[in-house]
Amino acid sequence: MDFGLTSEHQLLREMAYKFGQQEIVPGIQERDREAKSDRSILEKMGAAGLLGVSIPEAYGGSGTDYISLGLVCEELERADTSARVVMSVHSGLHSLTLLQWGTEEQKKRWLPQLASGSKVGAFGLTEPSAGSDAISLKTTARRDGDSYILNGEKTWISLADYADQFLVVAKLADSGDKPTFVAFIVDRTLAGFHSKPLKGKLGVRAGNTGQIFFDDVRVPADCRLGEEGDGFKIAMSALDHGRYTVASGAVGIITACLDACTVYCHDRKVQGEEIGRKQLVQQMIANMVAGRDIGRLLYYQVGWMKNAGLRHTREVSMAKWQNCANAFKAANDAVEIHGAYGYCDEFPVERYFRNSRGAMIYEGTHEIHTIVQAEYELGYRSDKPLKVTLPPFEGA
């Protein structure tokens, strides 16, 4: 197991860092204040090749490995969480799940446009009454000839107003007390589909989040992923991919906190001495460094497992759980170090604090991941082999 980064990894990290600092950071304070999402950033990410990271060249992607995806997410979240969310939803939850579960015809039909960014993908699982309890979802799919009729709604959907297509999980309308779940790729142009934005978010204000609705939406049967009954497994494998991007992105927030605090610790003086000389401040800085370095090792391990084609549900849960908790702690300490200045948006740490809180909810709450880790250790949970696995990286 070698966690050393290749020269290609280093170049990609540098490119993603420059993209974030040049295309996302300028204007982010204003966009965050105004809760304004800029769709042009999606187009720029596509043009830069970021949306095709970890998609094989045969389907129009860059053919880079899965650690590359983590590096890009880390550097984008270092700029702002809203940019990493694009990678989580479009690349992780949507594209990688399509790569894993799609037929050859489906992958050739959709992945090239997703990899180039000419089409944007999103994910629809959460509902008003089904979050952590995903098995209670109420959106239904009824078979009607060579189509399915979808009815229901999804909420807290990132890119709800921007995405061209959605990976949606529903239950068969006639499946009775033991629901049968089905997954579909749903095009937003279908009759009966509409979306609306959610307002008033605590964090990730520069990102688009909304609700999507299905009113007798007729979806062709060839847009179904997997078989009837595979829907829940598809959703859970999608969350494995999404959790990887969130875990790696959380390291970016910690790094951003260190960037801001290092400058402030040298600039801010108390009684003629830099506050960086104060031991309690150094303790907070040291904790951030530990969170950053341990967090990288956790997501590098998951990336290595993805490269090898190994199931990694427990490991990615651990990485998401710990990295997001450490990111929130780092942001809280960054506000503390900045004092009163950290409580206003003159400095970016206030935004990091608000953004980092959301990651402890989405892609599995802090509590859910705590239970997952305990149940693995106690033997109440184990991983069964999936009949469809993510293709291992060819260079692994």
User: How far, CA to CA in Å, does 175 sit from each of 51, 108, 334?
Assistant: 37, 31, 51
Q: Characterize 94-112 residue by residue with b for buried, 16 or more Cβ atoms within 10 angstroms of its Cβ, and e for exposed.
A: bbbbbbbbbeeebbebbbb
Closest C-alpha among 59, 63, 126, 43 to residue 99 = 59
User: How far, CA to CA in Å, does 253 sit from each of 77, 263, 265, 324, 368?
Assistant: 6, 16, 18, 9, 22
Which residue type does 149 have? I
> Kind of pairing, strands 147-158 and 269-270?
unpaired
DSSP state at residue 178: S
- Can you tell me the distance from the alpha carbon of 319 to that of 306, in angstroms, rounded to the nearest whole number? 14
DSSP state at residue 48: T
Q: How many residues does the chain have?
A: 396
> Kind of pairing, strands 140-144 and 165-172?
parallel
User: Tokens in use for 322?
Assistant: 């710990």
Within a 10 A sphere around the Cβ of 117, how many other Cβ atoms? Answer: 20
Name the residues annotated as catalytic: 363
Residue 187: half-sphere exposure toward Cβ, Cα within 13 Å: 12
Within a 10 A sphere around the Cβ of 177, how many other Cβ atoms? Answer: 4
What is the H or E stretch that residue 264 is in?
A: helix 231-267
User: Tokens in use for 185?
Assistant: 């790729």
